């Protein structure tokens, strides 16, 4: 039972540790998956904002150029679109710089873009100032077409580079998200395998515990019904067997014999050789009795050097006498105990059911009295109860 408890305790502890480890692994993996999904979602939103801001900047810059060309000196209505377009360009440029602040490369590009935009706005403002100074020559002719195209192309190049960079960062985030999907399925497979393996392992462990429990229960039941020294049925089991034989004899209208046996000279063995030798002698006697009786017969030790043999379906006195003689002869042969030859004998008292009694206690008491008669007449013999 103690071993059974140890196995159950170890199974419980190992199961709790395995469950804790699995829960930790799941928690760590799920946390990583959530982090990847969150990072991807944030990057996607940021990418959308940056791309929108880059496109808006190009539109606002184009509007500023158109507004500059349509600028009319002295007309507040004509000047308003240009001024609003310039504000939009500056605001969008600041927005792009703010959005790009988390990426060092984009921050560098945003600074370069800011300088190019500022230079472009200064050029546009110079043309507006020339008009306001009253120049009769078209202000647009003050700047060559090549210079204007060069400034515009530089701005477009930076915008394209920043857009490409944003798409690259987003692709990496999407790859991480796809990797998170892979982690999820890998984790799901790992958890499934672990649970399956754990279930099998726990099944075998619990099966072992059940086997130990059954073995322990059988052992306890055996100890409760058998003599510890010889392994023969004890008084309790003998009582049950006698009751069973009585029921069967009543049903079949048959008789059976109860033989009460006592060893002659056993006390002398205990006193001269020792109790350990006496225990060995009792075990040897039990082996001889088991070897002598039939499988349907019962031999029990009820204490000390007293044995009971129950012979069912026995009606003839002569047959009982032959069996008793065989038992006495078997017990009386020499024994080798502790390298010493030991000689004992046996006395037997015999009672019959239902002639001498109808209950187990009556049969045993009457057989005991017949045993005393056998011992009183010289031992090493048997006597019937009358």
Mean pLDDT of the 243-271 span = 92
Q: Residue 283: pLDDT above 70? A: yes
Q: Residue 338: pLDDT above 80? A: yes
Mean pLDDT of the 160-181 span = 75
Q: Residue 31: pLDDT above 60? A: yes
pLDDT of residue 64: 73
Q: Among the ranges 9-18, 22-31, 61-70, 117-126, which has the highest mean pLDDT value?
A: 117-126
pLDDT class for 190, splitting at 50, 70, 90? confident
Mean pLDDT of the 233-241 span = 93
Q: Are 2-201 and 235-384 in the same CATH fold?
A: no
C-alpha distances out from residue 333 to 265, 297, 327, 380, Å: 13, 22, 10, 12
pLDDT of residue 321: 93
> ∠302-308-310 over CA atoms, to 5°?
135
Q: Residue 234: pLDDT above 90? A: yes
Each residue's pLDDT tens digit, 191-210:
777 777 777 776 677 777 66
Average pLDDT along the chain: 80
pLDDT of residue 240: 92
Query: Given phi > 0 = left and psi -120 to 50 = alpha, else beta, which region is 309?
Result: beta
Q: Among the ranges 128-142, 163-177, 302-316, which has the highest mean pLDDT value?
A: 302-316
Q: Regarding predicted confidence, which is higher, 37 or 7?
A: 37
Q: Regarding predicted confidence, which is higher, 52 or 332?
A: 332
pLDDT class for 139, splitting at 50, 70, 90? very low
Q: What percent of the chain has pLDDT over 90?
A: 33
pLDDT of residue 142: 52
Sheet of strand 306-311: strand arrangement: 298-303, 306-311, 256-264, 345-353, 382-384
pLDDT of residue 124: 76
Alpha-carbon torsion 10, 14, 15, 20, what sign? Answer: positive
Q: What is the pTM of this model?
A: 0.52
Q: Residue 29: pLDDT above 50? A: yes
Mean pLDDT of the 359-369 span = 94
Q: Regarding predicted confidence, which is higher, 78 or 179?
A: 179
pLDDT class for 335, splitting at 50, 70, 90? very high
Domain 2-201: which CATH class? mainly alpha
- Residue whose tokens read 């075990």: 283
Q: What percent of the chain has pLDDT over 70?
A: 74
pLDDT of residue 114: 82
pLDDT of residue 2: 58
Mean pLDDT of the 286-308 span = 93
Q: Residue 136: pLDDT above 50? A: no
Q: What CATH number has the domain spanning 235-384?
A: 3.30.70.270
Q: Regarding predicted confidence, which is higher, 143 or 277?
A: 277
pLDDT class for 135, splitting at 50, 70, 90? low
Spans of all domains in the chain: 2-201, 235-384
CB distance 179 to 31 below 8 Å: no
């Amino acid at each position: 039972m103690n071993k059974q408890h140890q196995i159950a305790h170890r199974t419980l502890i190992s199961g709790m540790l395995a469950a804790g480890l699995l829960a930790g692994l799941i928690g760590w993996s799920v946390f990583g998956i959530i982090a990847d999904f969150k990072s991807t979602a944030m990057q996607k939103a940021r990418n959308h904002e940056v791309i929108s801001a880059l496109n808006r900047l190009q539109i606002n810059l184009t509007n500023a150029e158109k507004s500059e060309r349509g600028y009319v000196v002295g007309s507040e209505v004509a000047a308003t679109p240009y001024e609003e377009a310039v504000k939009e360009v500056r605001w969008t440029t600041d927005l792009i710089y703010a959005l790009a602040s988390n990426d060092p490369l984009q921050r560098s590009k945003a600074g370069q873009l800011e300088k190019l935009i500022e230079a472009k706005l200064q050029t546009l403002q110079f043309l507006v100032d020339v008009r306001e100074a009253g120049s009769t020559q078209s202000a647009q002719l003050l700047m060559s077409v090549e210079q204007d195209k060069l400034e515009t192309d530089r701005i477009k190049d930076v915008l394209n580079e920043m857009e490409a960079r944003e798409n690259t960062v987003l692709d990496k985030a999407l790859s991480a998200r796809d990797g998170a999907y892979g982690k999820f399925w890998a984790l799901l497979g790992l958890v499934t395998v672990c649970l399956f393996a754990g279930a099998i392992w726990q099944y075998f462990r619990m099966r072992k515990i059940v086997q130990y429990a059954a073995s322990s229960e059988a052992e306890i039941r055996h100890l409760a019904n058998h003599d510890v020294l010889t392994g023969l049925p004890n008084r309790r089991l003998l009582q049950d067997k006698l009751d069973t034989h009585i029921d069967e004899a009543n049903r079949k209208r048959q008789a059976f014999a109860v033989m009460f046996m006592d060893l002659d000279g056993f006390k002398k063995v205990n006193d001269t050789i020792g109790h350990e030798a006496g225990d060995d002698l009792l075990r040897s006697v039990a082996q001889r009795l088991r070897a002598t009786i039939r499988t349907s017969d019962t031999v029990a030790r009820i204490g000390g050097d007293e044995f009971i043999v129950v012979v069912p379906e026995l009606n003839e006195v002569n047959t009982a006498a032959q069996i008793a003689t065989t038992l006495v002869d078997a017990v009386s042969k020499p024994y080798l105990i502790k390298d010493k030859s030991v000689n004992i004998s046996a006395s037997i008292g015999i009672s019959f059911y239902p002639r001498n009694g109808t209950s187990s206690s009556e049969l045993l008491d009457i057989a005991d009295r017949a045993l005393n008669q056998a011992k009183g007449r010289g031992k090493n013999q048997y006597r019937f109860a009358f």
